[in-house]
Amino acid sequence: MHKVWAVIRREFVERVRTKWFWVSAILGPVLFAGIIVYQIKQSVGGAVRDVAVVDSTSAKLGNQVVEALEASGSFRASLAPAGPGVIDSLRNLVESKQLNGFLIVTDDLIQTGRAEYQASNLGMQTIEALQRTLGRLVVKARLEQKGVNPGVVDWAQIRISLDQKKIAHGRAVSDSAAQSFFTAYLMAILLFMAILLYGVNVMSSVLEEKTTRIIEVLVSSVRPFQLMLGKILGAGAVSFFQFVIWGVSARVLLSLRGPIARALGANPRDIQTMSLPHIPAATLAVFIAFFLGGFLLYSAMFAAVGAMSSNEQEARQAQQPVTYLLMISYLSILGLTNDPSSTFARTLSLVPFTTPIATPVRWTAGSMPTWELALSLVILGVAIVGVTWVAARIYRVGILMTGKRPNLKELMRWVRTA
Amino acid sequence: MAEPVVVDRVTKRFAGHTAVDALSLTVPSGIIYGLLGPNGAGKTTTLRMIMDIYEPDSGTVRLFDQVGGGRTNSARIGYLPEERGLYPRMRVLDVLVFLAEAKGVSRRGARARATEWLERLGLADWRMRKVSDLSKGMQQKVQFISTILHDPDLVILDEPFSGLDPVNSQVLRDTVVEYRRRGKTVLFSTHIMEHAEKLCDRLCIIARGRKLIDGTLAEVKSTHGGKHVIVAFDGTDGNAQQIFADRRLVAKIQDFGQQAELELAPGADAQAILKALVDSGARLARFELASPSLHKIFVDLVGPEAVTATATGGGNGGSRA
């Protein structure tokens, strides 16, 4: 056991000492801080646009449009009287960035619902906000034309707000569909990246020992299986450490949202709603369990790939089947998140090579009975034992081999005879 | 005391050919033992079976009177393989500590001993540097240190002199001799007979996986004796080639260029050759009665085709499986 520890420690310490570990450790929080700052900036007035309203309606609707735009909170609006040359001078203002854009309303607005917006930047959100505001105005104007009481009109236009509750594992939790979709999606991407990156790390570490020929000294004192186990656990510990750094810094940054917002001149109360989706402890546990399981499963395969290759190029080729296996899960992420209870999703969560990603996604989306989760875990566990057994045999023969990469038939012989 | 190494009729086959064929050898305690043979004779395979890296197809290996190979006893054995390497991106001290830990030495003990050895071999200033910053010669020193850092009772060296510069060759020879003086055992393989002749107490010559002869150096020389004469000329060699070709006087000749080693024909007298040479006008720099060199015995036993292989090869041509 002492020897396995020595291998784990070497693997961990040497990886954590590399530049790349710290680059990615720091890049995570920096990215996260960037997202927070961006969101605060958005709420502070990045979204408020200066627009001019050119009024050429006969009913002088321009004033109402300006009022409605101001009331929406997304615009600072001003009225520009229609006349010759006004469009050109407004264009110059847009050009010189004094104005974001201008809206031209004619009698068509009420009759056919047409208006024109010219701007330096036609953002989706701005267009939608304009359409929404103008829409309400037009409906109101049309109804009033037909003699409907303005009070009734306002009342009739009250917007529906849908209170969304998700039923997850028998309980209703308040969580919007978008949020659980987002959580599941994020988890799947994280799982895929971590398993791939750290699995490839195991492979290159095996390959390094082979190409530098230190392997023969090692296997004369440490059993090949101990060596492989130590490598996998060491690389796993590094990736776990990486996640911990990201997780802790994300929490710290979230708790600093208030001060950051104040520093940027925003009202801290406005951004309280902005947060990471709430992740229940059970979901976190499932995530960790399947991350560890998936990592063990795939890194055993990557270790075998490293052992059967004798240089980087060969390894890149030989790793492709393993990567494709992982890619199946990656390519299914959208399908999984869209309909987590489909036959497709259920199948993926029961196949050992796709379950590490499929099952956490289905669980997070809230459509997985507990017994299915347990079954997935058992299948994954059995697969880990089986795959590690085969990989260890390939590893044992492969690490001392030089020369030609073995074909499938030779691999089978290694597994049988090792 | 139990014999450090007892190999009993081990056989190892690799796809299609037999690398080691029913080989037996015993290494007694406290000596330097040479395993000699041309390239491809099965030396590395034998050592790997002793080290538990390969499992023999049949036969047994006993180390220190315990069944089971090198890995079970790894704390008592230092092994320097023919193809040796270090982690290029690790610090020198860290590599040594890790390799000692893999042998079961405690971390603290390994640190102290590694520092001491680095100082002894003049690498103290390099201990926090990366292995890749070291010259090849320095890396070789680090490899020796890793082999003996845990103070093993048995040291196994596979072609230890291949690729060494003269300075490091000397460091290695000194270390090996000092090791024996302390009552430890050294087993090493080589295809260069000069090294074996200078160092070995006992030896075993193998070819094509089979043992040809073993015993002490003196035993081997007396069994494959015959009278030998070493001749070197100073300037003209007179009529020497003709005299050497006389099968009544000379049974065999090994011409090394600067000097020649003659095996006398049965019943021939060395003095007759000396007289013939002097009469022919040759100027002699050296004329010496000698026991046959190990190289001569080796060539006789193994055959000329193996000698060409020995002359060209610097080491074994890669490992096989």
| pLDDT level of residue A267 (50, 70, 90 thresholds) | low
pLDDT of A169 higher than 90: no
Q: Give me the pLDDT at residue A170, please.
A: 57
For B85, the closest of A2, A212, A397 (CB atoms) is A212
Q: Is B318 on the interface with A (CB under 8 A)?
A: yes
| pLDDT level of residue B314 (50, 70, 90 thresholds) | very low
Q: Give me the pLDDT at residue A270, please.
A: 54
**Interface touch A217/B90, C-beta < 8 Å:** no
For A216, the closest of B83, B87, B101 (CB atoms) is B83
Q: Mind telling me how many Å the CA of B17 is from chain A's nearest CA?
A: 16
B98: which chain A residues are within 8 Å (Cβ-Cβ)? 6, 10
pLDDT of A272 higher than 70: no
Give the distance from CA B143 to its chain's centroid.
17
**Interface touch A402/B102, C-beta < 8 Å:** no
pLDDT of B312 higher than 60: no
* Measured distance CA(A166)–CA(B248) in Å, rounded: 108
pLDDT in tens, A367-378: 688 899 999 999
Q: Which of B53, B55, B82, B154 to mutate to test the interface with A (most CBs of A within 10 A)?
A: B53
pLDDT in tens, B241-276: 888 888 888 888 888 877 888 888 877 788 888 888
Instruction: Give all domains of chain A, ordered by start, each with its CATH number.
Output: 2-29+176-417 (no CATH), 47-156 (3.40.190.10)
Side-chain-side CA neighbours of A121 within 13 Å: the count stands at 12
A14: which chain B residues are within 8 Å (Cβ-Cβ)? 87, 89-90
Among chain B residues, CA nearest to A410: B15
Among chain A residues, CA nearest to B49: A220
**Interface touch A3/B146, C-beta < 8 Å:** no
Q: Is A16 on the interface with B (CB under 8 A)?
A: no
Q: Mind telling me how many Å the CA of B131 is from chain A's nearest CA?
A: 12
pLDDT in tens, B154-209: 999 999 988 888 888 888 899 899 989 999 999 999 988 888 888 999 999 999 88
**Interface touch A3/B104, C-beta < 8 Å:** yes
Q: Which of A217, A225, A311, A393 to mutate to test the interface with B (most CBs of B within 10 A)?
A: A217
Q: Are A65 and A134 in contact (CB under 8 A)?
A: yes
H or E stretch at A31: helix A19-41
Give the distance from CA A88 to its chain's centroid.
45
3-state secondary structure chain B: CCCCEEEEEEEEEECCEEEEEEEEEEECCCCEEEEECCCCCCHHHHHHHHCCCCCCCEEEEEECCEEECCCCCHHHEEEECCCCCCCCCCEHHHHHHHHHHHCCCCHHHHHHHHHHHHHHCCCHHHCCCEHHHCCHHHHHHHHHHHHHCCCCCEEEEECCCCCCCHHHHHHHHHHHHHHHHCCCEEEEEECCHHHHHHHCCEEEEEECCEEEEEEEHHHHHHHCCCCEEEEEECCCCCCHHHHHCCCCCEEEEEECCCEEEEEECCCCCHHHHHHHHHHCCCCEEEEEEECCCHHHHHHHHHCHHHHHHHHHCCCCCCCCC
For the ranges A188-197, B52-61, B193-202, B231-240, the lowest mean pLDDT is seen at B231-240
Grouping H, G, I as helix, E, B as strand and the rest as coil, residue A140 is helix
B79: which chain A residues are within 8 Å (Cβ-Cβ)? 216-217, 220-221
Task: Compute how many other C-beta atoms are within 10 angstroms of the C-beta atom of residue B299.
Answer: 20
Q: Are B227 and B288 in contact (CB under 8 A)?
A: no
**Residue A50 DSSP code:** E
B48: which chain A residues are within 8 Å (Cβ-Cβ)? 216
* Measured distance CA(B51)–CA(B189) in Å, rounded: 14
pLDDT in tens, B119-146: 988 899 999 999 999 998 899 899 999 9
Nearest to A168 by CA among A266, A249, A286: A286
**Burial per residue of A35-61, b for 16 or more beta-carbon CB atoms within 10 angstroms, e otherwise:** ebeebbeebbeeeebbbbbbbbbeeeb
For A216, the closest of B53, B77, B318 (CB atoms) is B53
Please state at what angle helix A224-255 crosses helix A177-211, rounded to 10 degrees: 140
**Interface touch A217/B81, C-beta < 8 Å:** yes
Q: Mind telling me how many Å the CA of A186 is from chain B's nearest CA?
A: 35
Q: Give me the pLDDT at residue B316, please.
A: 40
**Interface touch B321/A14, C-beta < 8 Å:** no
Q: Is A216 on the interface with B (CB under 8 A)?
A: yes
**Interface touch B87/A208, C-beta < 8 Å:** yes
Q: Give me the pLDDT at residue A354, please.
A: 92
Q: Which of B50, B98, B134, B162 to mutate to test the interface with A (most CBs of A within 10 A)?
A: B98
**Interface touch A214/B321, C-beta < 8 Å:** no
Q: Mind telling me how many Å the CA of B97 is from chain A's nearest CA?
A: 9
Instruction: Give all domains of chain B, ordered by start, each with its CATH number.
Output: 5-221 (3.40.50.300), 226-290 (3.30.70.100)
What does the radius of gyration of chain B's CA atoms come to, in whole angstroms? 23
**Residue A183 DSSP code:** H
Q: Mind telling me how many Å the CA of B27 is from chain A's nearest CA?
A: 19
Grouping H, G, I as helix, E, B as strand and the rest as coil, residue A172 is strand
pLDDT in tens, B14-37: 877 889 999 999 999 999 999 999
pLDDT of A57 higher than 90: no
Walk across the sheet containing B58-63 and list its strands: B17-27, B5-14, B58-63, B66-67
For B88, the closest of A7, A212, A217 (CB atoms) is A212
Q: Give me the pLDDT at residue A266, please.
A: 65
For B51, the closest of A2, A10, A220 (CB atoms) is A220
| pLDDT level of residue B313 (50, 70, 90 thresholds) | very low
Q: Mind telling me how many Å the CA of B261 is from chain A's nearest CA?
A: 40
Q: Give me the pLDDT at residue B319, please.
A: 38
* Measured distance CA(B206)–CA(B103) in Å, rounded: 30
H or E stretch at A168: strand A166-168
Task: Compute how many other C-beta atoms are within 10 angstroms of the C-beta atom of residue B231.
Answer: 23
Q: Mind telling me how many Å the CA of B87 is from chain A's nearest CA?
A: 7
pLDDT of A273 higher than 60: no
Grouping H, G, I as helix, E, B as strand and the rest as coil, residue A350 is helix
* Measured distance CA(A289)–CA(B282) in Å, rounded: 88
Q: Give me the pLDDT at residue B317, please.
A: 37
A217: which chain B residues are within 8 Å (Cβ-Cβ)? 79-81, 84, 99, 146
For B:76-95, CB contacts with A below 8 A are 77, 79-81, 83-90, 94
**Interface touch B102/A219, C-beta < 8 Å:** no
* Measured distance CA(B32)–CA(B184) in Å, rounded: 9
For B53, the closest of A14, A209, A400 (CB atoms) is A400
pLDDT in tens, A308-317: 988 888 898 9
The pLDDT mean for chain B works out to: 85
| pLDDT level of residue A265 (50, 70, 90 thresholds) | low
Q: Is A400 on the interface with B (CB under 8 A)?
A: yes
Q: Is B74 on the interface with A (CB under 8 A)?
A: yes
Q: What is the mean pLDDT of residues B57-66?
A: 89
Total beta-carbon pairs less than 8 A apart between chain A and chain B: 74
For A221, the closest of B74, B83, B87 (CB atoms) is B74
Highest mean pLDDT (candidates A31-40, A183-192, B18-27): B18-27
**Interface touch A10/B98, C-beta < 8 Å:** yes
